[in-house]
Chains A and B, each alone.
Chain A
Amino acid sequence: GAGVSQSPRYKVAKRGQDVALRCDPISGHVSLFWYQQALGQGPEFLTYFQNEAQLDKSGLPSDRFFAERPEGSVSTLKIQRTQQEDSAVYLCASSLALAGSNEQFFGPGTRLTVL
Chain B
Amino acid sequence: QVQLQESGPGLVKPSETLSLTCTVSGGSVSPFYWSWIRQSPGKGLEWIGFIYYSGPTNYNPSLRSRAKISIDTSKNQFYLKLYSVTAADTAVYYCAREKYYLDPFDIWGQGTVVTVS
Bound together: no
A: residues with CB less than 8 A from B are: none
